[in-house]
Structure 1
């Protein structure tokens, strides 16, 4: 019986230890990327929610002046001027140096039963609003969208 380890046993042990080490390293790297991706997506959702809140603020300040004149299917950019939100067709640049946020209004149609439908009569006091936030993450464009209906319930 031989005493000690032979050269082959040492090489095999080093190879197995290396595979285990690199597997653990890759697992940790993948988990770190996943956490980073999810954190950025969560941040993007908050930016989109802020966009919806901006639209609600504009609506509350006056549907006739703030929402009604806006063209459907046009991308607008919410910006905070002082303490007042405004919508502009000009991109003011990235939000938090990372995200691009757009707000798009869509015409809402009602059928004979006053239910929302794909066609019918345009409801001038209701708009479907889509807030889209995009960002570049490791060379890929990522996005989140939030959508809601906005009404002129304040009749202003």
Structure 2
């Protein structure tokens, strides 16, 4: 009745095209995964570096407090300060500090105490305690990221 004619020309070419497409999707998926891994790794590196800079700032303030309370007690509240490493010690100056793509500043605030000697929003100003806030900022992925560390320093010596 009907004669069926099967034309097998080009079937091998179709198999090669389909196999190539599958292989291309696999390769693109693997490369995309590597890209995400590298981006995440670099982001974690920045976060780790910022943590070290915050901790270093806190250690510098503690060192200065231990050396002489007047080095930090005479700082003006709400003024932007930064650290400067000299040959043998640290010093403080007004302004911002730039370290390998990071900006580090710190601010000091007066601390008030209530009648029970607890820290409070209002009350008597405690001249032997200050609150320092260290900020580290960096620019990444079209945005600025800022991490902060706050600590209380007291005149213990």
2:105 — aligned with what?
A: 102
1:4 is displaced (CA, Å) by 9.6
Cα deviation, residue 28, structure 1: 0.6
2:81 is aligned to 76
Tell me by how many angstroms 1:6 deviates.
Answer: 2.8
Higher relative contact order, structure no. (Cα contacts within 8 Å, ≥ 6 residues apart): 1
**Is the radius of gyration larger for structure 1 or structure 2?**
2
Q: Secondary structure at the match of 1:13?
A: helix
Whole-angstrom CA distance in 2 between matches of 1:122 and 1:9: 82
Which sections of structure 2, spanning at least 5 residues, go unmatched?
1-5
With normalisation by structure 1, the TM-score equals 0.88
Contact kept in structure 1, 2:111 and 2:119, CA below 8 Å: yes
For the residues of structure 1 that align with 2:29 and 2:136, how far apart are their CA atoms?
35
| Aligned residue in 1 for 2:3 | none
Aligned residues: CA RMSD: 1.9
Provide the aligned length of Structure 1 versus Structure 2.
Answer: 151
Instruction: Report the alpha carbon displacement of residue 7 of structure 1 after superposing the two structures with TM.
Output: 2.5
CA deviation after TM superposition for structure 1 residue 135, in Å: 1.4
1:113-142 CA deviation, whole Å, 9 max, x = no partner? 111112222111111111111112233212
Q: Which runs of 5+ in 1 are unaligned?
A: none
Equivalent position of 2:124 in the other structure: 121
Does the 8 Å contact 2:53/2:136 carry over to 1?
yes
| Structure 2 residue 25 is matched with structure 1 residue 22 | no
Structure-2 residue corresponding to 1:139: 142
Q: TM-score, normalised by structure 2?
A: 0.87
Residue 8 of structure 1 is matched in structure 2 by 14
